Structure 1
Amino acid sequence: MSGEKIDYAAVFKALPGAAALLTPQLVVADVNDEYLRLAGKRRWELVGRHLLDVFPDNPANSGATGMRHVEASLRRVAETGERESMALQRYDVEIPGRPGAFEERYWSPVNTPVVGPDGQVTLIVHRVEEVTELIRRGGTPDGGDRQRVLEADLYTRARELQEVNDRLRQANAREREVALALQEAMLPAPQLAGPHGTAVRYRPATAALNVCGDWYDLASLPGERSAVAVGDVVGHGLAAACVMGQLRSALSAAIRVAEGPAQALEGLELYARSVAGAESTTAVQAVIDDSAHTITYSSAGHPPPVLVTPGGTVEFLDKATDPPLAARPDQRSRPQADATFMAGGLLALYTDGLIERRGEDIDTGLIRLAESLVRHGSLDPESLADALLDDLTPAHGTSDDTALVVIRL
């Protein structure tokens, strides 16, 4: 062969592996016979056309991303001048003679730059090896097929796992929608009698798929009195939302017949012992007496309500706190305390999603809440509720729900 000129065009055409020559702009400059056979196309359908125009991803399949991955690899090769061997790729390839009909194929691509005298990439050799049959039917892994079978098996397992994860995400998203609709239907609008301006907020977690069991409740009582409560069921999702609905309704009924907040929580605890998933629920119940200017309250393991005077003095109502519902093996009486308020002051009840942060002491969150209440204390309740959420909710969102009630006294 020495001295004889090699016809590299003929060599390229006769290569046993499928190969296409692409410009750095990903336009097909040439293809060999095996590539034509593999693609099921004629030369004029390929040469001079952009690769992704010839092989688009299946528009009817949102999971078909093989060509987008290939495009990203080819562009990296054009920019860096470095060869890339890609992981096994799934393609939905348009069936010859059936426009718009696609079939699932699996190719193993390698993209190699051809560098000119000036050091710039002038062409890219896009070599593909089809392993569709190995995926569909299996094969005997001998010689060069062993690595392809291994890659095919790993790819198939990864694809199956991805499909399972997608189904789980879809199921969780549907459950989240149902739970949110259930919570919205069960959480009441603020309708307190007397002079009170009231705002309520429920904000679902943004850093998790599932909603939680946070709730609030408001009720007008005889004798210029009003009741307000918030609570938090342990757990997430539709089950927690259902438990929340049962407990909220039970406490709302109990406060209407009980002598005070402590007795209402005692009745709620008896009920919670019979409800699966209600154990360790936290709740706080308060009764506002406008004639006496007092707030009577009792807490079952819940963060304390905050009372703010018109002058900006902050008091956490934490003198009547006991363990969460059904957390003790036996039923006991619960404590109750009173606080005096001034007209024009503020009362805020909330769930722990407003103040708790991972790795941070809860006192830090309480201080942050007090400062925000004082800073925005002159606002009307609706504006104040929005300001509190803006101040206290991290920019990246939270993994816990937040319920908030703000009352102008």
Structure 2
Amino acid sequence: MGKPLIDYVAVFRALPGMVALLTPDLIYADANDDFLRLAGRTREQLLGRYIFDVFPENPNDPAAAGMRETRESMLRVVDSGERDTMALLRYDIEDTHRPGVWREHYWSPVNAPVLGPDGQVTLVVHRVEEVTELIHARGGPNGGARARVLEAELYTRARELQEVNERLRQAHAHEREVALALQAAMLPAPGPTGPHATAVRYRPAVGALNVCGDWYDLVDLPGDNLAIAVGDVVGHGLAAACTMGQLRSALSAACRVADGPAQALEALGLYARFVEGAEATTVVTTFVDWDSHTITYSCAGHPPPALVHDDGTVTFLDQATDPPLAARPEHLPRPQARTGFSEGATLVLYTDGLIERRDEDIYTGLARLADSLAHHRHSAPEALADALLTDLLPATGTTDDTALVVLRL
């Protein structure tokens, strides 16, 4: 028996309760039947029009703030890609049949994002509960003194909640600034790597709450050799940035004394068990030996490094993959593998923000990375790093951080 065909337009319009769809510019794209009926507007009066041209603020109420609060909520959804629930709101509506006559209304709105293939907000779902009759009924059939007292109390609580939300938003914005400053201090440009050109990049996630814990590091080893590591702490904000700093420093020290990348990651894994927020961190470490023209690597749950050969062939270093840090209940040795390279090849390490997208599997992102690397393989590391960010990251940014290291071998 085949799947039943569903007319989603008909389903949307028949949904119980008021629901409208708006573009990120807050233009009405559609509205269901209950929205039209309870708002007293026809479809033609809504579609293609700016929300506050259709529903302006009541000019007779100097304390009215419904328009500002609704706009701020919707713009938060567009900026963050996250749902925003508003406090109970008074928003009067002008009678379409009696211009200048405004009818008192109370609404309980929720705004939610619809994301496109690139992870950006393409529509805002505006769902509203009309609670005017409920508020008035609490004071008796005709409202009365009790209704007015309840109205005043609810209105005051709504204002207080909006003020709290604004203070939280400002606090999160400050936290983002501090976290970005901390990451910038702990992710400096690499020092001299002899004749081997290197480029590094760090791109923070978009949105006030999405500063993450991505890092990179380049460590000098005996014999003028080099260790390169890239990692990603689970979580967001200042706490993730602090955890990142601890793990980066610990791995840098471990690489200098370990016999190889696997042993360095074993030491880091043991350390991570005692660092709050370090569980499930992913990291990959590579040791480059210029004399033998080999790369030894070990990966703890991280996307594999890419080795770009002069002929355009791209090899992903995925033969020594293990779970993330502190993911196992017991300590076990980690694997490592070795591969050769020819002079002029390029080694690229990165975090998942460069390749992963919500609507596709990781292999699609890896294929996109390989195509870009093959196309730009003759570019110098600085130019190649810029090209990768341009080719692989959406112009509007992503909801995950991206760290990137490019080394000409």
Structure 1 residue 277 corresponds to structure 2 residue 250? no
- State the distance in 1 between where 2:400 and 2:190 align: 23
- Cα distance, 1:112 vs. partner? 6.1
Aligned AA for 1:384?
Answer: L
Alignment of 1:4-403 (within 5 A): 90=63, 111=94, 125=100, 143-145=142-144, 148-403=148-403
Identical-residue share of aligned pairs (%): 66
Normalised by the length of structure 1, the TM-score is: 0.67
Aligned AA for 2:392?
Answer: L
Change (3 A) 1:107 1:224: closer
What whole-Å deviation, never above 9, does each CA across 1:139-196 have from its counterpart, x for those lacking one? x957454665554444333322221211111111111111111111111311242321
- State the distance in 1 between where 2:229 and 2:190 align: 12
Residues 233 and 280 of structure 2 are in contact (CA less than 8 Å); yes or no, is this contact kept in structure 1? yes
- State the distance in 1 between where 2:351 and 2:55 align: 53
Q: Tell me, what secondary structure is at the counterpart of 1:193?
A: coil
Aligned AA for 2:362?
Answer: I
Change (3 A) 1:148 1:213: same
Q: Tell me, what secondary structure is at the counterpart of 2:234?
A: strand
Normalised by the length of structure 2, the TM-score is: 0.67
- State the distance in 2 between where 1:149 and 1:225 align: 76
What whole-Å deviation, never above 9, does each CA across 1:303-329 have from its counterpart, x for those lacking one? 000000011000000001111111111
- State the distance in 2 between where 1:204 and 1:262 align: 29
Change (3 A) 1:114 1:199: same
Residues 90 and 155 of structure 2 are in contact (CA less than 8 Å); yes or no, is this contact kept in structure 1? no
- State the distance in 1 between where 2:367 and 2:93 align: 59
- Cα distance, 1:224 vs. partner? 3.0
- State the distance in 2 between where 1:279 and 1:162 align: 35
- State the distance in 2 between where 1:73 and 1:243 align: 44
What whole-Å deviation, never above 9, does each CA across 1:74-124 have from its counterpart, x for those lacking one? 97599xxxxx978976269xxxxxxxxxxxxx9986756899xxxxxxxx6
- State the distance in 1 between where 2:154 and 2:253 align: 58
Residues 210 and 400 of structure 2 are in contact (CA less than 8 Å); yes or no, is this contact kept in structure 1? no
- State the distance in 2 between where 1:192 and 1:297 align: 22
- Cα distance, 1:357 vs. partner? 0.7
Compute the RMSD of aligned alpha carbons.
3.1
- Cα distance, 1:217 vs. partner? 0.2
Change (3 A) 1:265 1:86: same
Q: Tell me, what secondary structure is at the counterpart of 1:315?
A: strand
- Cα distance, 1:291 vs. partner? 1.3
Aligned AA for 2:326?
Answer: A
Residues 58 and 102 of structure 2 are in contact (CA less than 8 Å); yes or no, is this contact kept in structure 1? no
Q: Tell me, what secondary structure is at the counterpart of 1:223?
A: helix
Change (3 A) 1:275 1:76: closer
Residues 64 and 91 of structure 2 are in contact (CA less than 8 Å); yes or no, is this contact kept in structure 1? no
Aligned residues: 302
- Cα distance, 1:359 vs. partner? 2.6
- State the distance in 1 between where 2:327 and 2:90 align: 59
Residues 212 and 400 of structure 1 are in contact (CA less than 8 Å); yes or no, is this contact kept in structure 2? yes
Residues 87 and 108 of structure 1 are in contact (CA less than 8 Å); yes or no, is this contact kept in structure 2? no
Residues 198 and 408 of structure 2 are in contact (CA less than 8 Å); yes or no, is this contact kept in structure 1? yes
- State the distance in 1 between where 2:215 and 2:60 align: 49
What whole-Å deviation, never above 9, does each CA across 1:244-297 have from its counterpart, x for those lacking one? 000000000110111111111111111111111111111100011111111110
- State the distance in 2 between where 1:321 and 1:107 align: 57
Q: Structure 1: which 5+ residue stretches go unaligned? A: 1-71, 79-83, 93-105, 116-123, 130-139
Aligned AA for 2:63?
Answer: R
Q: Structure 2: which 5+ residue stretches go unaligned? A: 1-49, 66-88, 105-137
- State the distance in 1 between where 2:395 and 2:252 align: 34
- State the distance in 1 between where 2:95 and 2:51 align: 10
- Cα distance, 1:397 vs. partner? 2.3
